[in-house]
Structure 1
Amino acid sequence: MTVLPIHNHGLDASRLILGCMGLGGGWTTDPIESAHVKQAQEAVETALDRGIHMFDHADIYAFGKAETVFGQVLQQNPALRERMIIQSKLGIRFPDEAKGVPARYDFSKEYILESVDGILSRLGIDYLDVLLLHRPDALMDAREVAEAFHQLKASGKARYFGVSNMSAGQIRLLQSQLSEKLVVNQLELSLNKIGWLETGIHVNQDAARNNIFPEGTLEYCQMENIQLQAWGSLAKGLYSGASLEDASDNVKSTASLVKRLAEEKQTSREAIVLAWLMKHPAAIQPVIGTTDPSRIQACAEAENVELSRDEWYSLYVSSRGVSLP
């Protein structure tokens, strides 16, 4: 699989990332079972065999069990760590019902440092290759975040830093206090969630009023060499086998087009969906959330798919449901 140098920051990552939210037995407090470890082991081995060596976590996934079960896989085979780039996210706090406190975000220095220690403990590793802030904290003090990042870097607990779900303005604010460049912004980008494209297409158009994707974010990340990662890249399987019983007409027509292109190119539907994202000049790095070995293999085929400009636009226009302005 092609190596993506995270926009010249020296971190050679695979073109695809395996998202690990589905590991650990789900969003319950039930204990981890041997079947969950086996599932994680098979997903990891399949990914590595297909050249996918970057893995995306978050401290909240499966209430921490996703990281824990991944750590158990590493414990069984410690040599795997040197073949991996491991990324995790922090900053989302669950509700504390006993204290009457709702779910909230927390980028305080104390919480960042505490969270990283928890992540490393669950994964059973000494450092994270990349640490991301999960969702914007309305009370973020950029100077305090910078202090936490500096301490993590100095201690060797995190090597690179980035963000998730942030606009260009939020990244600029944070970057203004940091001594080193942020390397990643992870956003929801897919053939179904196309606001990132619509923002540019709808310049000087009334339709722009209904688009919530922050204007200029895509361009800013490209200009500043911030790697764009796409969560939700497979659009929950809408175009690769999920039930379309309640889907809109444009989703159904797009699913049909994806299927036709996959048949013509003798590849998987997953590969077509991902290749569409990967054709964009921003060098988008899709995060695939499946733990099914057969789907991981199907996704890996995306690197061998070349969509023409006409095919790319056919998929885009089909997804949006109306002609371009």
Structure 2
Amino acid sequence: MKKIALGNSDLQVGEISLGCMRMSELSTKDAAHVIENAMEAGVDLFDHADIYGKGKSEEVFADAIGMNDDMRERMKIQTKCGIRKGFFDFSKEHILESVEASLRRLKTDYVDSLLLHRPDTLMEPEEVAEAFATLKESGKVRYFGVSNQNPMQMELLRKYLNDDLIVNQMQLSLVHTPMIDSGFNVNMQNDSAVVRDSSVLEYCRLNDITIQAWSPFQHGMIEGPFIGNDAFPKVNAKLQELAEEKGVTDSAIAIAWILRHPANIQPVVGSMNPKRLNDIAKASDIELTRQEWYELYRAAGNDLP
């Protein structure tokens, strides 16, 4: 699998990562198979969050691999914090407590990257900066990022940080493309012209922040997959056509579409099915043409001006 750098850091990772939200549902044995298979396929960044399975996903992950120094050096581990029951919390106290709890569950001394999970409008950036500095100085977190934030939210935070943000995790799939749509419809009066995210795609490219695409097979927010869904006949027909032509699955083509973008976007794939993940990983070897990329974009229901 091809490698990319996360932001301007020295973290070199496979261009597809594995989201571990559903790992809490697996047995230790099955989780071990998922992780070992992923690493054999070149997937070496594992994305966690303190809320996944109420912490159980991190526990199952650590138990499955029999966490030790050798195994830890072979992978990159990312986790997220800031979502609590009924509210968001970027307080220094919560960030530090959350990281300590994640490290205990993951049975490791450090995580490679920590992301703030959802924007907290009550955030005091000086307090976040203090928490990040404490975690960096103690060696418990190597790099920092955010999730679901727009450029001005990141600018506010960056004003106080000593370290660069290297990641912004955002929802992106073939049928969820608002960060792309507005760039095609500048100064127009249609719905696609509405800038919903303050041009986050261009901002992240300008500032060397890697966008990680979550839910790359989903439509809506968590409404389900669009692949194989009769509600999306045109895009599925095009995916199948290209999949047969290139000898891969339709899911691999959907990921290859994301990888084709020059922003070096990293999809976060949440499949706990080893065979499906192997099929998806083949997307790293697929280079869609410009014409194929646009054909898929239009088949997903998007009109070009």
Please indicate the TM-score interval, normalised by the length of the shorter structure. Answer: over 0.9
Superposition pairs of residues 141-220 of structure 1, within 5 angstroms: 141-208=124-191, 211=194, 213-220=196-203
- Aligned twin of 1:130: 113
Q: Contact between 2:179 and 2:199, CA under 8 Å: does it hold in 1? A: no
Q: Does 1:263 align with 2:244?
A: yes
Rounded Cα–Cα distance in structure 2 between residues aligned with 1:323 and 1:231: 24
1:9 aligns with 9
Which position in structure 1 is the counterpart of 2:278?
A: 297
Instruction: Give, in whole Å, the separation in 1 of the partners of 2:209 and 2:302.
Output: 31
Cα offsets for 1:39-73 (capped at 9, x unmatched): 21111011000011000000000111101100112
1:229 maps onto 2:209 in alignment: no
Number of the residue aligned with 1:286: 267
Q: Secondary structure at the match of 1:149?
A: helix
Deviations 1:215-259 (A, max 9, x none): 2211111011011110011225422x4x43xx2xxx211011101
* Residues 187 and 193, structure 2, Cα contact 8 Å, conserved in 1: no
Q: Work out whether 1:112 is the aligned partner of 2:103.
A: no
Query: Are 1:66 and 2:57 counterparts?
Result: yes
Are the aligned partners of 1:74 and 1:81 in contact in 2 as well (CA < 8 Å)? no
TM-score w.r.t. length of structure 1: 0.89
SS in structure 2 at match of 1:184: strand
Alpha-carbon offset, residue 9 of structure 1:
1.5
Identical positions, percent:
45
Extract unaligned runs of 5+ from structure 2.
Answer: 219-223
How much has 1:130 moved relative to structure 2? 0.2
2:80 corresponds in structure 1 to 89
What's 1:20 paired with?
Answer: 20
Name segments (4+ residues, structure 1) moved above 4 Å.
208-212
**TM-score normalised by the chain length of structure 2:** 0.95
SS at match of 1:183: strand
Unaligned runs of 5+ in 1: 26-34, 95-102
The aligned amino acid for 2:268 is V
Equivalent position amino acid for 1:179 in 2: N
| CA gap 1:260/1:228 in 2 versus in 1, 3 angstroms | same
Q: 1:60 to 1:211 in 2, by over 3 A?
A: farther
Q: CA RMSD in A?
A: 1.5
CA distance in 2, matches of 1:282, 1:209: 21
Deviations 1:195-226 (A, max 9, x none): 11112112111124784631221111101101
Higher alpha-carbon deviation: 160-169 or 302-311:
302-311
**Aligned position for 2:287:** 306
For 2:197 and 2:43, how far apart are their aligned partners in 1? Answer: 30
How many pairs were matched up?
Answer: 300
CA distance in 1, matches of 2:302, 2:116: 36
Q: Following the alignment from structure 2 to structure 1, what is the Cα–Cα distance between the partners of residues 150 and 284?
A: 28
Q: Secondary structure at the match of 1:174?
A: helix
User: What residue number does 1:48 align with?
Assistant: 39
1:98 aligned partner = none
